[in-house]
Amino acid sequence: MGIGAITRYIDIPQVVLYTFWIFFFGLIYYLRREDKREGYPLESERSGKITVQGFPAVPPRKVFKLRGGASHEVPSSRVDTRELKLGASAAWPGAPLQPTGNPMVDGVGPASYVERENVPDLTAEGEAKIVPLRVAQDFSVAPEDPDPRGMAVIAADGKVAGLVREIWVDRTEPQVRYLEVALPDSAAATTVLLPIAFTRINARRRRVNVVAILAQQFALVPRLASPDTVTLREEDRITAYYGGGHLYAEPARLGPIV
């Protein structure tokens, strides 16, 4: 057999094409399997004994070693025992679920959140990553940028929800993550965090506009256990509360746009 004679009875381009198809199928299978590490298996409305996972099946648990000796496994063996405050809108199986209480507080729909660890996210040095400027004293607001401290927070209903008292920064980025808002008419000087992504700062009028929620709804923003740190769970709950407001803050938001 001469050199290159193999190409007389094997179609090299076709072999390459089949090889690519096999590789691509394997890639899709792997990615589809890996994305089931969170949220699966689903719960069945018919029976708690039915495993709803589809194809491919949920992958075996993978253990990640964390700093400090702790570990985290996915899919997690931890069972979420929170009461789902939703009710079926009709009697037939698969009917849409509707909130039975205050969805922004109950954490359903766009206001839902995961029960993450109730500890602060840390820097490589072991310090709290997100802290107020009163703690991160080596950070400051650039002279060319507006300083929101002292500005009024205007809610979606046009009312003043409070005043910005402090800025919370991310030590690792660095960037602003939250604004600390002091609520009015509060004998206990209550403050809540406002994610910077939900704001529009108007430097000329000295105001911070928030369209996610109404002024009175700031009173129900999840509180912090510590005045100078925010935990991973608290971050999720706070962000979910404002996110849920885009749908649930007013009854009119639940209806069609047109």
Is 205 contained in some domain?
yes
172 and 92 belong to one structural domain: no
3 and 75 belong to one structural domain: no
Is 118 contained in some domain?
no
* Chosen domain end from 42, 60, 78: 60
Q: What is the CATH number of the domain that holds 184?
A: 3.90.50.10
Q: Can you give the pLDDT at residue 5?
A: 59
- Expressed as residue numbers, the domain containing 21 is 1-60
141 and 194 belong to one structural domain: yes
Q: Can you give the pLDDT at residue 29?
A: 95
233 and 138 belong to one structural domain: yes
145 and 206 belong to one structural domain: yes
Domain count of the fold of the chain = 3
CA pair distance 43, 51, nearest whole angstrom: 7
Is 17 contained in some domain?
yes
CB 165 within 8 A of CB 175: no
Is 90 contained in some domain?
yes
52 and 77 belong to one structural domain: no
135 and 249 belong to one structural domain: yes
Measured in degrees and rounded to the nearest 5, phi and psi for residue 242 equal -70, -40
- Can you tell me which residue has the tokens 């194809």? 55
170 in helix, strand or coil? strand
- pTM of the entire structure? 0.81
138 and 241 belong to one structural domain: yes
* Chosen domain end from 60, 79, 102: 60
Q: Which two tokens stand for residue 56?
A: 């491919």
96 and 189 belong to one structural domain: no
CA pair distance 122, 188, nearest whole angstrom: 29
In 49-124, where does DSSP find H-type helix? 103-106
SS3 content of the chain, % helix, strand, coil (to 5): 25, 20, 50
* Positions of the chain with pLDDT lower than 50, given as ranges: none
Is 94 contained in some domain?
yes
Is 211 contained in some domain?
yes
Q: Which 3-state string (H, E, C) describes 239-254? A: HHHHHHHHHHCCHHHH
Closest CA to 136 of 116, 101, 166, 108: 166
50 and 66 belong to one structural domain: no
Q: Can you give the pLDDT at residue 24?
A: 97
* Exposure class string for 202-228: b at 16+ Cβ within 10 A, else e: eeeeebbbbbbbbbebbeebbebeeee
Is 120 contained in some domain?
no
135 and 72 belong to one structural domain: no
Is 124 contained in some domain?
no
67 and 55 belong to one structural domain: no
